[in-house]
Amino acid sequence: MDAVRKVSVNVKIDADIKQLGEQMLRSMGLDHTTFINMAYRELIREKQLPFLPKVPDYVTLETKMAEKMINSKASTVYLSEDDNGNIAYDPRANPELHDWVKNG
């Protein structure tokens, strides 16, 4: 049986991240090589990252709109649409809605 050929993987990471990672891996009885092998094997087996990436401190437009709606004191407005699919509303009765429709 042929031996599996081993190759090196070189990466640059922040020193403090490496140190904390080493400590955590050591507490689990692992080293970097074992961890990287595990991560690659999981990636290949599952065909996805072995963790869920998260976007840090990034606020999307949808999030901003949702927060504004939640924090606003505006009353509930029920909308309908005209024959062309446009929002139908009375701008005099709902000026804040009119501003939102016009300016986003």
Say whether both 12 and 47 belong to one domain.
yes
Same-domain check for residues 37 and 79: no
Structure tokens given for 95: 């000026």
Query: What integer pLDDT is reported at residue 3 of this predicted model?
Result: 84
Domain range for 65 is 61-103
What pLDDT, on a 0 to 100 scale, did the predictor assign at position 55?
61
Supply the Cα-derived Rg of the chain in whole angstroms: 27
Of 1, 3, 7, 12, residue with least CA distance to 37: 7
Per-residue pLDDT at 69: 72
Query: How high is the pLDDT of residue 85?
Result: 76
Determine the pLDDT at residue 101.
Answer: 66
Whole-model pTM above 0.85?
no
Q: State the virtual CA torsion across 9, 11, 17, 18 in degrees, nearest 10.
A: 50
- Neighbouring residues of 59: CB distance < 8 A, sequence distance ≥ 6: none
Q: Are residues 23 and 70 in the same domain?
A: no
Residues of the chain with pLDDT under 50: none
